[in-house]
Amino acid sequence: MQTIRQAFGLLRQNPLLSTISILGTAFAITMIMAIVITWQTKYADLEPEVNRSRCLYFSAMHMQGKKNKDWNNFSKPSAAFMKECIQPLAEVEACTAFTIADVALMSLADGGNRLKVDAVNTDPGFWKVFNMQFLDGRSFTEAERGGNMKSIIICASVARKLFGTTEVAGRQVLLNRELSNIIGVVKDVSVTAKDAYAQVWGMYPVNEQERVGFMGEETIVVMARTPDDFPVIKQGIEKRVKDINAVLEDFELDIMEQPDNIVAHVNHVWSNEGPDLPMLYLQYAIALFIILLVPSLNLCGLSNSRMQQRISELGVRKAFGATRGTLVRQILNENLVLTSLGGILGLIFSYFAVYAMRTWLFTNSDNIGTVGDFSLSMEALFSPQIFVLAFVFCLVINLLSAGLPAWLAARRTIVDSLNDK
């Protein structure tokens, strides 16, 4: 408590320097935590993509001529590839193939209440890989594929716009002028959920699983029983691809160094090589280091100015028996209070910054033109890890900004300190 009182006493003694110090810390924490929150939203296990840490991904496929190497075809994988190379593996708990969300026209069965929706085609495995919250009805099963009427699942906001309620299981609508039966309603999914997002989910036709050549329009997500099974799953898929290529006459299948983990999947580019993950991690580390270092150096100058004004006080404390270590700890603790105030302010600013820039931060090639909302997960914004990291960064900035001035001030002799005005 004494340290806190002394820190607020410094605020009153020199409000300008203290305010600049707090705002400098807040600015640094704002930038750092915006990066951390963005990382959490993209890569952490968050609803409805709660299994990211134990999922592998296929988002691209390449076929090349065996004799004519100039013949190349780049596309996405198909459900047939999943059926042949992934589903038979014992280490796979569940897997799903789905198309990119595409704008569709939906209305009531009589043509009323028309609206645009983002629709995908997928399979029953989708509801095992992703944790959707059903408000009404259920997910679809293989038995409903290829029936007389298409079965679909819609999100809550679409249900309310069409019917004014979410209890609509069993009702019929027109989806791209095709009569469809609603069998379930789920809680809205944010566009920030790269793979789970859509507003309407239907089933791709059964012939998609028999596609020749394994090139299609789907992204495939493979959920392992544990992340420890990743190497075995990769080896199993590579062996099956090798066996397929052995019987193909004119071309061969190239899985482009996939499957990817979640970080590689989000950053995968259209090339024959996956993203350079070590370089990606290095870039994030360098960015965090620079964001920490630059304001810390500026704050170091401010801290040194404060120390010069307190030299006589520190000399008196030494005269009464305070050791060098005691003085350094006192200065660091006082500075930590000011740094923590800046950290709290910076964390609040970071929420506003991420919210204001959410569309820019989370827009990618798959969700451009979608009509859904880029809402942010409260789980990502207010997770314990966020607060722990914010405090750690405050500690680092405190050490970098006040450590050297405190050490220089504490090593001065009593006489020099008392004679310095």
Same domain, 83 and 36: no
Please tell me the predicted confidence (pLDDT) of residue 95.
96
**Helix residue ranges, H only, 126-276:** 126-129, 156-163, 230-247, 262-266
pTM of the model: 0.83
DSSP state letter for 101? P
Task: Identify the helix (H) or strand (E) that includes residue 289.
Answer: helix 277-309
The answer to whether the beta carbons of residues 43 and 262 sit under 8 Å apart is: yes
Work out how many domains the chain is built from and give that number.
Answer: 2
Residues written for the chain? 421
Both structure tokens of 158:
């679409």
Are 30 and 114 within one domain?
A: no
Same domain (yes/no): 42, 64: no
Do 157 and 202 belong to one domain? yes
Is the same domain home to 133 and 248? yes
Range of the domain at 84: 60-259
- Do residues 239 and 106 share a domain? yes
CA distance 256 to 75: 11
Closest to 96 measured CA to CA, from 136, 65, 142, 62:
142
CA distance 138 to 59: 28
| pLDDT at res. 304 | 65
Determine, yes or no, domain membership for 51. no
Q: Are residues 109 and 189 in the same domain?
A: yes
Q: Which H helix or E strand runs over 410?
A: helix 384-410
- Last residue in a domain, options 232, 259, 286: 259
Position 117 in a domain:
yes
In a domain, 53, yes or no: no
3-class DSSP state for residue 128?
Answer: helix
Scanning 2-66, the segments in alpha helix (DSSP H) are: 2-13, 15-43
Determine the Cα–Cα distance for residues 21 and 16; give it in Å rounded to an integer.
9
Question: Same structural domain for residues 85 and 225?
Answer: yes
In a domain, 268, yes or no: no
Same domain, 332 and 186: no
Of the residues 199, 228, 259, the one at which a domain ends: 259
Strands 200-203 and 178-186, bridge-based pairing:
unpaired
Report the pLDDT value the prediction gives residue 289, as an integer from 0 to 100: 77
- Between strands 150-155 and 178-186, the pairing is parallel
Q: Are residues 298 and 175 in the same domain?
A: no
**Tokens 């482009």 map to which residue?**
256
If DSSP codes are grouped into helix, strand and coil, which group holds residue 354? Answer: helix
Domain-terminating residue out of 228, 259, 290: 259
Query: In the 3-class helix/strand/coil scheme, how is 150-181 assigned residue by residue?
Result: EEEEEEHHHHHHHHCCCCCCCCEEEECCEEEE
Are residues 35 and 152 part of one domain?
no
User: What pLDDT, on the 0 to 100 scale, is given for residue 387?
Assistant: 76
Quote the pLDDT of residue 11.
63
C-alpha distances (whole Å) from 181 to each of 108, 137, 189 are: 11, 11, 21
- What is the mean pLDDT, run by run of 10 residues, along the chain of 421 residues? 62 73 81 85 91 95 84 88 93 95 93 92 95 94 80 95 94 94 95 94 81 82 96 95 88 89 81 66 79 70 66 66 71 75 85 87 79 82 76 73 68 59 51
Decide if 271 is inside a domain. Answer: no
What number of other Cβ atoms are within 10 A of residue 241's Cβ?
18
pLDDT at site 273: 56
Distance CA 14, CA 193 (A): 47
Q: Has residue 33 been placed in a domain?
A: yes
Q: Is there a single domain that holds both residue 42 and residue 66? A: no
Note whether residue 229 is domain-resident.
Answer: yes
